Amino acid sequence: MAKPKGSRGGASPRKKTSKSKSARAPQTGRKVRATKKNSAVSRRSEPVLEPRTKTEACLALLVRAEGASIEDLQQLTGWQAHSVRGFLSGTVKKIPGASLTSEKGDGTRRYFLRRVSAPQKNRE
């Protein structure tokens, strides 16, 4: 016997089920799209100062007057100590125009990120 067309054997295909009307949100007939006019970001008068990435958050700690210890950076990021040290040597030291220094006081090493002015070229 020949199989009917569309029959592949095995399980039958699932039927699409829709939610009942009572489970759906009421339709107002008007869709609101997120645009610059009605987004929360554009309504703020001042820029957002919160860091968006772990790198930005770490740099914010390092530029403070008191600097940051490895423990501070660990608590902030959730990284292990060797990962924090790798971040300091691999990412922070390669920032052009910045100088990473450290000082040891009270038994804790603190790291500081300072901006260094670029060398001036003599134009004669």
pLDDT in tens, 62-83: 999 999 999 999 999 999 999 9
Please tell me the predicted confidence (pLDDT) of residue 74. 96
- By DSSP bridging, strand 68-69 and strand 108-115 are antiparallel
Domain segments of the chain as ranges: 54-115
pLDDT in tens, 108-117: 999 999 988 6
Provide the pLDDT for residue 58. Answer: 93
Whose CA is closest to 110, among 99, 123, 121, 101? Answer: 101
* 105 Cβ contact partners less than 8 Å away, ≥ 6 residues apart: none
Q: Which residues of the chain have pLDDT under 70?
A: 1-49, 117-124
Phi, then psi, of 60 in degrees rounded to 5: -65, -35
- CA atoms 87, 91, 95, 99: torsion sign: positive
Residue 67 pLDDT:
94
Task: Return the structure tokens found at 78.
Answer: 């959730």
- pLDDT at position 93, please? 85
- CATH number for the domain formed by residue range(s) 54-115: 1.10.10
Can you give the pTM of this predicted structure?
0.54
Q: How many CB atoms lie within 10 A of CB 79?
A: 17
